[in-house]
Amino acid sequence: MARSFDNRLSVMLLLSQNQLFSIEQIVERTGIQPRMVYRHIEDLRRAGFIIHKTGHRYQIDPDSPFFKKLAGHIHFSKAEAASIVGVLMRTYNLTPPLRQLCQKLSELYDNNIMLPTGTDERTARNTYALYEAIRTRRIVKLNHYYSHSSQTHSDRIVEPFQFLAGNTEVRCFEIASKTNKTFKIARAESVELLDLEWSYRSQHEEVVTDLFDFVGEPNLHISLSLGNFAATLLREEHPAAAERLTPQPDGKQMLDIMVCSYKGVGRFVLGMFDDIEVLGSEDFKNYLKEKINNMNQKI
């Protein structure tokens, strides 16, 4: 019985981190068998937790009654948390305590309320409107949106469903063209939340942001052996890398991941070439060789 309770608690703690997890990811992180993971999720739902499912991934809503009761008077609503973070993130040169406060609010409530430091008020309003549209599955109008390719302004009616690039871009299904597109949030003069619900949910195609902030399908394998300096710099520039680095007997760190593009990781490897050994992936090695040859021709 104690073992079952511990497992259920492990699943609850993982799913309350305000990010979506697949059954495979839950199994990997908790060591619980898949059939038991499903059972624990259902037990949590019956216990009153609000569990959202997007595709094959799960998360617990922080507004679940249990969390509100536990938090008592210190609980903020999502809107309150978003407002607090919005005010703080529009402040330049945040002190470490303020940055930590923003991060805590983001982790407790929703990562999508985070904005880059110094975001202007108009872009912040656009982001909050898009956040609300995604949360409630509503259609929006991107008013006077500037297209860099055509260098024109126009209104776009879209179904927003995914934030990208540190919440500076949003993935949407554009109703007029019936295609999925990525829009720069700052390029819209305003975002108007319409009283219309999504109609094309089945056609939404999410994209993934890899460790080096490139967006797309993570289908390119890389394997690197990093020295202490390269590993430290990687963790500083890309904090998520900390969970992906594996210590080796020789004191180095192994990074074995899938990426969406060689550009991001290639830039990092070329900048730290003396402290990195490229393992496997002949395609990646050829990519680096071509880059080096091009640089040699320009010198």
Number of domains the chain is built from = 4
Taking the complete model, does pTM exceed 0.95, yes or no?
A: no
Does 107 lie in the same domain as 57? no
* Owning domain of residue 23: 2-67
| DSSP-assigned beta bridge partners for residue 277 | 225
Strands 152-164 and 276-279: unpaired
At residue 92, the pLDDT reads: 46
At residue 231, the pLDDT reads: 95
pLDDT digit string (tens) for 93-139?
556 666 666 666 655 555 555 555 566 778 888 888 898 898 889 99
Does 292 lie in the same domain as 250? yes
Structure token digits, residue 97:
């305590």
Phi, psi of 173 (to 5 degrees): -100, 115
**Could you give the CA distance from residue 112 to residue 127 in angstroms, rounded to a whole number?**
9
Q: 194 falls in which pLDDT band (50, 70, 90)? A: very high
Q: Which residue has the higher pLDDT, 89 or 193?
A: 193
- CATH number, domain with residue 243: 3.30.70
**Could you give the CA distance from residue 110 to residue 29 in angstroms, rounded to a whole number?**
21
Q: Which residue has the higher pLDDT, 44 or 280?
A: 44
Structural domain includes residue 293: yes
Does 220 lie in the same domain as 192? no
> Among 184, 206, 228, which residue terminates a domain?
206
Does 8 lie in the same domain as 34? yes
At residue 191, the pLDDT reads: 95
- CATH number, domain with residue 34: 1.10.10.10
Does 199 lie in the same domain as 163? yes
Whether residue 9 is predicted with pLDDT greater than 90 in this model: the reply is no
Structural domain includes residue 73: no
Does 101 lie in the same domain as 40? no
Does 267 lie in the same domain as 232? yes
Cβ-contact 78, 67 below 8 angstroms: no
Structural domain includes residue 185: yes
